[in-house]
Structure formats: structure tokens, C-alpha cells
Amino acid sequence: MHDGCELRDALTRHALSDGLRKLRLGLVLVLSVALALGAVAGSTRASESGLPIPRFVTLRSDKVNVRAGPGAQYPVEWVFERRGMPVEVVAEHDNYRKVRDIEGTVGWVHQNLLSSRRGIIVSGAIRALRREPRDGAAAAAQLEPDVIGQLLECRGAWCRADVGGYRGWLKRTEFWGVYPDEKVE
């Protein structure tokens, strides 16, 4: 009879541990789904610096080393050579920012090489920098693709920029450097 009790206790312990294992797995799955939904639902999140991620910034220098990781010990993978070019900060680690450029290339840059000043880069085709924020308005200048300018403000579907001393309006879809519904003043 002693053996029967031990067998029953062993089976009970096995059933309990199996149940706990399934409960833990269920909790892990629920938490994973919740975290994934949170990442999708919230387009911006807090960062180490307290600034939103993602966010747009510009390059402060004509030569900016882009590293494989967040530190000077990581190799330089390439060098940005366009002061004022907008990049998107997608992560932070200590004094380094993980940035993405218009082509989707990602790497780590020291924060001192970035500016909070906002910029644009003309995308697609030649674009008319318009004197007023409406289709058909007179053009202040014609902008080639990949031309860089300073973002001044956005109103609805239009944003005002300064490109080489010419000021005017572009549709948000004509350049890279601003989010679809972002308010810029």
C-alpha cells in the first residue's frame, strides 16, 4: 500500500508540474502577443534620452561614421558625407543612436554627430517647390531628387521647406523626413 501512495503522489506531482509548465507557456504567449501589439499600436515610445522613437534628425557634419554597433569599438561600416541629411533614429544605446537613411540602411552613430534640426530629402522625381501650399501654385524652384533642404513647418498634406535659399511648399509624399500625420511647427 505504501507503493500505491508513492505512485499516486508521483503522478500528482507530474500532473501539477505539467499543468504549471502549460500555464507558464500560456503566460509567455500572452505577454509576447501583448508586447507585439503594444509595439504596433504605439508608433512612438520613450527612449533612454526621453525623446520619442522613432524620430527624425539630421547629420551635423559632412563626415559621419556609421558603425556596426553602439560604440567606438565597433567597426565603421560606411561614412555619411551629407551634412543636413535627414535620418531616422530607431533605437538608442548610451551615447549612440541607431539610424536609418532614406534607402533603409541602418547603423549606429554617436549622438554628437546628430542635430535635432529637421531636414528633408527630395524623393522620386523632379519636384516643384511651390509658393503656396496647393496644387497648381507657382513654383519657386524645381528640385532634383536627393536634394537636401531644411524642414520649416507642416500643415496637413503640405510642408514648407528651405532648399538652397528658396522657400516654398512640397507635399509630404514628395520628400522623406517627416511622418504622414506628424505636426511640425
CB of 162 closer than 8 Å to CB of 152? yes
Q: What is the pLDDT of residue 171?
A: 98
Q: Exposure of 151 by Cβ count < 10 A (0-12 exposed, 13-18 middle, 19+ buried)?
A: buried
Place of cell 503522478: 11
Give the CA angle between residues 74, 75, 77 to the nearest 5°.
Answer: 125
pLDDT in tens, the chain (185 residues): 555 556 556 555 555 455 544 434 443 333 343 333 343 334 456 678 899 999 999 999 999 999 999 999 999 999 999 999 999 999 999 999 999 999 999 999 999 999 999 999 999 999 999 999 999 999 999 999 999 999 999 999 999 999 999 999 999 999 999 999 999 99
Q: What is the pLDDT of residue 48?
A: 81
Place of cell 509630404: 172
Determine the Cα–Cα distance for residues 88 and 103; give it in Å rounded to an integer: 11
Closest among 70, 118, 67 to 92, alpha carbons compared: 70
Q: What is the pLDDT of residue 164?
A: 96
